[in-house]
């Protein structure tokens, strides 16, 4: 195992942790736990009590620190010391959205999610710096590492857009798709830097895998549509009465559920073809097992009313399936011209 392979694998694992943390943020309704970005209520370490967000007399306020006044958020225009009475000329109303509640759990869940995101950014930065070493010997690794850095920065910016837009559905979908793109880039680097070359894969199997990836993208997009509907229900029922979330579900859900058959079918075909070709790969067994688990979590959500953790797990497994499938494809197809690094 070489260093670039280990660094890429580390980044991939951290990106999956970010996806899981994002799912937990959503399951607990913590998305607006930090109203601003990148700081949280204007602090590097967010408050632990609601009283910390009350206006205080004779207090040193730093630029961008937030207070809650009535039903609104206000942020400090500059650094200043407050006097006996509040002087509103020191404060601007926070207008990016009108969400002004404080819940310590939501704030800290969102904050930890952001910290894991920052660690992911750092690990991709380290990967990029290390990849510069291969600029002459294996340019594709350096170029893909630059791309992964751009993708994760764009993803961070999108994260800010998600918060600024008070979690509008379309930004969440783009955020999800970008996570998949980032995984594709990282898995390409992983395949290129894998020390042991696998055997050759026939073209028709590669085509089947590409079709499966396209089907998975469609499935992820329809899943995100189902999620948008569930999001509205979760809000409507204030995160309780889970049995009602799936009531009156749209046709998109029926499509999402039935479309699973297409994924099962094509992956069974890939599995059988590989078996006939006597290509031994733990990856394909892992992918099949994950598809099975994905169906199981889907069924559990539907019939057992979204038990705790089922939503983030369903989200995580979908990105694992598509990521590993892309890796499988890259492993056989990107290695052809690979040189030892
Ligand atoms: C390979 C098959 C499947 C894939 C790749 C897949 C993928 C996804 C994705 C990506 C989401 C959006 C998650 C999010 O944004 O948080 C989703 C949502 C959902 N899926 Fe699936 N899904 C599959 C199969 C199924 C099946 C078989 C069912 C039910 C029988 C199901 C039920 C649901 C439900 C209820 C949601 C909404 C979840 C939520 O609100 O968090 N899925 N799916």
Q: Please report the sign of the dihedral spanned by the C-alpha atoms of residue 298, residue 302, residue 307, residue 309.
A: positive
CA of 238 to the centre of ligand 1 (A): 21
Instruction: Provide the pLDDT for residue 160.
Output: 74
CA of 126 to the centre of ligand 1 (A): 34
Examine the pLDDT at 189 and tell me if it is beyond 90: yes
Burial string for 214-253 (b: 16+ CB within 10 Å, else e) reads ebbeebbebbbbbbbbbbebbeeeeeeebeebbeebeebb
Residue nearest to atom 42 of ligand 1 (CA): 298
Residue nearest to atom 15 of ligand 1 (CA): 224
What's the chain's average pLDDT? Answer: 90
Instruction: Provide the pLDDT for residue 137.
Output: 86
Tokens 């046709």 belong to residue: 251
Burial class of residue 335 (count of CB atoms within 10 Å of its CB; 0-12, 13-18, 19+):
middle
Instruction: Provide the pLDDT for residue 271.
Output: 94
User: Which residues, listed in sequence order, are joined to residue 40 by a DSSP beta bridge?
Assistant: 43
pLDDT in tens, 41-64: 999 999 999 999 999 999 999 999
Nearest-atom number in ligand 1 for the CA of 224 is 12
CA of 314 to the centre of ligand 1 (A): 6
Task: Average the pLDDT over 225-230 and give the result.
Answer: 90
CA of 220 to the centre of ligand 1 (A): 7
Nearest-atom number in ligand 1 for the CA of 220 is 10
CA of 209 to the centre of ligand 1 (A): 21
Residue nearest to atom 17 of ligand 1 (CA): 223
Instruction: Provide the pLDDT for residue 167.
Output: 59
Examine the pLDDT at 232 and tell me if it is beyond 80: yes
| Residues in contact with ligand 1 (CB, 6 Å cut-off) | 23, 176, 216, 219-220, 223-224, 226-227, 230, 256-257, 260, 263, 291, 294-295, 298-299, 301-302, 311, 314-315, 318, 321
Task: Indicate the pLDDT class of residue 339, thresholds 50, 70 and 90.
Answer: very low
Instruction: Provide the pLDDT for residue 340.
Output: 46
Lowest mean pLDDT among 127-136, 146-155, 170-179, 284-293: 170-179
pLDDT in tens, 272-286: 999 998 887 889 999
Nearest-atom number in ligand 1 for the CA of 176 is 15
The answer to whether residues 251 and 262 touch, using CB atoms and an 8 Å cutoff, is: no
């Amino acid at each position: 195992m070489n260093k670039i392979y280990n660094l890429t694998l580390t980044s991939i694992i951290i990106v999956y942790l970010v996806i899981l943390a994002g799912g937990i943020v959503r399951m607990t309704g913590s998305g607006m736990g930090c109203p601003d970005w990148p700081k949280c209520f204007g602090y590097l370490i967010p408050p632990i009590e609601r009283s910390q967000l009350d206006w205080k007399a004779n207090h040193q306020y730093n630029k961008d620190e937030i207070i809650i006044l009535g039903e609104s958020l206000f942020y400090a225009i500059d650094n200043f010391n407050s006097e006996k009475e509040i002087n509103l000329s020191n404060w601007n109303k926070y207008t990016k959205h009108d969400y002004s509640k404080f819940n310590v759990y939501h704030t800290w869940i969102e904050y930890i999610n952001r910290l894991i995101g920052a660690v992911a950014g750092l690990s991709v930065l380290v990967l990029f710096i290390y990849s510069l070493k291969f600029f002459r010997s294996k340019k594709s690794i350096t170029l893909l590492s630059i791309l992964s850095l751009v993708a994760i920065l764009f993803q961070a910016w999108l994260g800010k857009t998600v918060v600024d837009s008070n979690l509008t559905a379309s930004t969440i979908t783009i955020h999800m798709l970008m996570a998949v793109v980032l995984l594709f880039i990282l898995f390409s680097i992983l395949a290129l830097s894998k020390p042991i070359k696998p055997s050759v894969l026939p073209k028709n199997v590669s085509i089947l895998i590409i079709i499966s990836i396209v089907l998975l993208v469609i499935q992820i997009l329809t899943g995100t549509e189902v999620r948008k509907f569930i999001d509205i229900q979760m809000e409507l029922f204030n995160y309780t009465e889970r049995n009602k979330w799936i009531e009156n579900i749209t046709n998109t859900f029926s499509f999402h559920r039935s479309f699973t058959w297409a994924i099962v079918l094509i992956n069974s075909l890939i599995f059988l073809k590989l078996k006939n070709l006597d290509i031994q790969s733990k990856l394909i067994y892992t992918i099949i097992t994950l598809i099975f688990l994905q169906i199981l979590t889907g069924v559990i959500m539907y019939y057992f009313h979204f038990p705790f953790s089922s939503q983030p797990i369903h989200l995580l497994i979908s990105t694992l399936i598509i990521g590993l499938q892309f890796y499988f494809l890259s492993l056989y197809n990107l290695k052809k011209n690979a040189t030892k690094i």
